[in-house]
Amino acid sequence: MLKIKVLGPGCANCKRVEQIARSEVEKLGVAAEIEKITDYAQIMAYGVMSTPGLVIDGKVVAYGRIPTNQEVTNWLIAAQN
Give the model's pLDDT for residue 24.
97
How high is the mean pLDDT in each 10-residue block of the chain (81 residues)?
Answer: 96 97 97 97 95 97 98 96 82
Give the C-alpha separation, 56 to 73, whole Å.
11
2-65 maps to which CATH number? 3.40.30.10
- In the set 3, 10, 11, 45, the catalytic residue is 11
Give the C-alpha separation, 46 to 17, whole Å.
17
11 a catalytic residue: yes
Q: What is the pTM of this model?
A: 0.95
Q: Say if residues 31 and 80 touch (Cβ distance below 8 Å).
A: no
- Domain limits, the chain: 2-65
- In the set 6, 14, 32, 48, the catalytic residue is 14
Q: Say if residues 34 and 43 touch (Cβ distance below 8 Å).
A: no
Give the model's pLDDT for residue 81.
82
Q: Say if residues 62 and 16 touch (Cβ distance below 8 Å).
A: no
Which residue type does 16 have? R
